[in-house]
Structure 1
Amino acid sequence: MAGDATHARLRRLLIYLLAACLLSFIAAALIGSIPIPLADLPQALHAWRLGQDDMHASLLELRITRAASAFVTGAALALAGVLMQALLRNPLADPYVLGISGGAALGALSAMLFFAAAWMIDVCAFIGAAASAALLYLLARRDLRYGINSEGGSVLLLTGVILSAACMAGVSLILSIAPEGRLRSMVFWMIGDLAGSQSTGLAWLAWIGVALFAMTRANAINLMAIHAENAATMGVPIARLRVQLFFGAAALTASAVANAGSIGFVGLIVPHACRFALGPDHRLLLPAASLVGGVFLVLADTMARSIIAPQQLPVGVITALVGAPLFLLQLHQLRLWRRGRS
């Protein structure tokens, strides 16, 4: 009966969230420096489908493409945040906590320094993130596989922090020697920017693949996150699951950072908000956080390119301005809730 109730709740939740996704894409399509009236949207969609030379159709194509890139980036970051928080058993963990984004930044800025093509920047960012994840695994694999108690992620976390600091030193060196004409694009990438970003097949493949895998392991993740010490006695292959979650979160982070730069707060506040609203059950939390993360970043990017249009802001500025007060509010509400229970 409890399983049936959870499945029914999940179906209702997915319907609501998919509707929110559709509405966010409509808002992204209509809002901009040149707004498209809602009444003209069907005609613009028809012209876009037929490939006609129409201003509204061209705007629609650009905005929908960018919104798709924002959605898959936000969904990947939020899902990676859920996986990292379950892996480290730390609600303050986010996709960037292990230094994978630092490797991506070092790879991307190295490509920018040598005037590489845009697609090479994305490739170098992904290679840098993948190399950081592989090095982190080699350095902390014993802790990752066998650290199942409350202190289990300490070596993994500290190794990630040191690796991130080393990557940031390399980034600082690149920024100090880069020509002035490249600094603006480098800084925008470091903050997180979706201008010119393309929702590549790799980003969608990483998100869909990891999301489907995580959903099949939702019950095991529940046991690991809540009863890590006893999960192995309940039949959960805890060491293998931890490695799988690590590489799943690493793949999501690498694809998201390569796609749009280091966009902060999405992987931290969205899982928190969804956990506060829905509870700790990962059967609900995994799909909810992922879809909410996508919607959140689509709306944030719409604001970034519309607030001071025609000039555009990096979307990372918007996520930080919105995310910081939201996170403080969540902490305040959590403190009040705990005080009420005590």
Structure 2
Amino acid sequence: MSADPALLGVLHPTARGAEAPAPPTKPVPAARPPARRGGGRRRRAVWFVCGVAVLLVSVVLSVRIGASDVGYGELGRVLGGRLGLDVEPLPPLLDSLVWDLRLPRVLMAALVGATLAVSGAALQALTRNALAEPYLLGVSSGASTGAVAVVVLGLGAGSLGVTGGAFVGALLSFGLLLLLLRRGGLDSLRIVLTGVIVGQFFSALTSLVLMASGDQDTTRAVTHWLLGSMASARWDVVVVCAVVAGVGLAVVWVFASALDGLAFGADTAASLGIDVRAARGVLLVVTALMTSAAVASVGAIGFVGLIVPHGARFLVGPGHRTLLPFAALAGAVFLVWTDALARIAFAPREVPVGVFTALVGVPLFLLVLRRRGEL
């Protein structure tokens, strides 16, 4: 049976020999030249050099300002004398102010800021949680318990001191975390929930010890330490933190590709050939040790490990090979200036730096969320 020509014409206009109507034309956009990868690398290199320069300028300016301002010439004479150059020595009091108090404090702020920022960036990818921060593992609560045990109860006061007690407490809390994670694996949700449990347990221990002390002066001193302060920074502690931070930052940077994969989930990371369990284990241990060293040295300083990675990610993108160095620089600059503000805002009285990181960090975090369209 032959098909009706009229029907064919409706179904397909060319069936009757008619020419099909041409579809409406759209303007073709002009071809764009292919993006050059070298341009992006050069731009990131320029940003990195600028970040290093900003950090150096921040360190110099922060050393100068305080209750007693220090001139550039005096700062140069102190550094020149320590380097063995032929310079006129400063009065011993001023020399000690710069070399023994200001410079270790500023360098400690830079090291702690870089450590917390990189740890926060790593844990946010590791747990796939935008609210993850270095204290997620409970090590800050353990460090607080160790410090309180030394100050209030006198446990190991002769051999450990506050810094040593805080470090031991941080390691104990992390050991408990690993013990609880031993059977169930290292998936993201278990890490987050177990870290919260461990942190709450040690926070309760800290509160219990403080309430049992009954000494208001001791409680006030411990509370000041818990809020974070660079006032106790000394060269030996700075050297230890520098070694821990340097090794830790290098290890985390080596795992940058693994963090890129883990940010999309364990299945995606495994499909890329990443040993998920090994990568998670190494990163958990390294970030915990870095955070333990930082908290044991200066106390628990909040918000740095939370807001700085988001700000750096907004500027340079989510790729961790670029993100981690920028986060380290941004964290260092942020804490150097926050500590300077804590020193001079109510001079001669000093405010714990953790108070100012929260006051400055909250509006910055809201700004980042708003720029990302999440608020």
One fold, TM greater than 0.5? yes
CA distance in 2, matches of 1:5, 1:132: 46
8 Å contact from structure 1 (residues 48, 60) kept in 2: no
Residue 13 (structure 1) shift: 2.8
Deviations 1:71-111 (A, max 9, x none): 11111111110111011011110011221111110001111
Residue 44 (structure 1) shift: 4.1
Matched, 1:286 2:324: yes
Change (3 A) 1:329 1:144: farther
Amino acid of the structure 1 residue aligned with 2:143 = A
CA distance in 2, matches of 1:96, 1:121: 19
Corresponding position of 2:207: 172
Deviations 1:39-62 (A, max 9, x none): 543334335556653443222212
Corresponding position of 2:359: 321
Matched, 1:82 2:121: yes
Would you identify which runs of 4 or more consecutive aligned residues in structure 1 move more than 4 Å?
A: 1-7, 47-52
Instruction: Provide the TM-score with structure 2 as the length reference.
Output: 0.82
Count of residue correspondences: 331
Range moving further from structure 2, 90-99 or 36-45: 36-45
8 Å contact from structure 1 (residues 106, 170) kept in 2: yes
**1:86 aligned counterpart, secondary structure:** helix
Deviations 1:103-155 (A, max 9, x none): 1100011111135369621111111111111211121135543x3xxxxx222
Q: What pairs up with 1:91-130 in 2 under 5 angstroms?
A: 91-115=130-154, 116=157, 120-130=161-171
Looking at secondary structure, tell me which structure has more helix per residue: 1
8 Å contact from structure 1 (residues 47, 54) kept in 2: no
CA distance in 1, matches of 2:344, 2:191: 41
Change (3 A) 1:167 1:290: same
Q: What pairs up with 1:128-147 in 2 under 5 angstroms?
A: 128-145=169-186, 147=187
Question: In structure 2, which of residues 266, 275, 281 is the aligned counterpart of residue 243 of structure 1?
Answer: 281
Amino acid of the structure 1 residue aligned with 2:124 = Q
CA distance in 2, matches of 1:7, 1:237: 28
Residue 161 (structure 1) shift: 1.1
8 Å contact from structure 2 (residues 77, 90) kept in 1: no
Deviations 1:145-184 (A, max 9, x none): 3x3xxxxx22221111111111111111111122222112
Matched, 1:154 2:189: yes
Corresponding position of 1:69: 108
Structure of greater relative contact order (alpha carbons < 8 Å, 6+ residues apart): 1
Corresponding position of 1:8: 42
**2:111 aligned counterpart, secondary structure:** helix
Mind listing any 5+ residue stretches in structure 2 that lack a counterpart?
1-34
CA distance in 2, matches of 1:239, 1:269: 27
Residue 206 (structure 1) shift: 1.6
CA distance in 2, matches of 1:46, 1:188: 35
Q: What pairs up with 1:197-216 in 2 under 5 angstroms?
A: 197-198=233-234, 199-216=237-254
Amino acid of the structure 1 residue aligned with 2:254 = T
Residue 8 (structure 1) shift: 3.4
**1:36 aligned counterpart, secondary structure:** coil
Larger radius of gyration: 2
CA distance in 2, matches of 1:325, 1:219: 31
8 Å contact from structure 1 (residues 73, 294) kept in 2: yes
Amino acid of the structure 1 residue aligned with 2:70 = I
CA distance in 1, matches of 2:98, 2:140: 31
Matched, 1:252 2:293: no
Deviations 1:258-310 (A, max 9, x none): 01001000000100100111110101111111121111111111111111111
8 Å contact from structure 1 (residues 140, 156) kept in 2: yes
Amino acid of the structure 1 residue aligned with 2:42 = A
CA distance in 1, matches of 2:265, 2:317: 16
Corresponding position of 1:150: none
8 Å contact from structure 1 (residues 125, 258) kept in 2: yes
CA distance in 1, matches of 2:307, 2:201: 26
Corresponding position of 2:30: none
**2:134 aligned counterpart, secondary structure:** coil
Deviations 1:214-245 (A, max 9, x none): 22221221122135322212211111101111
Residue 3 (structure 1) shift: 6.4
Change (3 A) 1:208 1:327: same
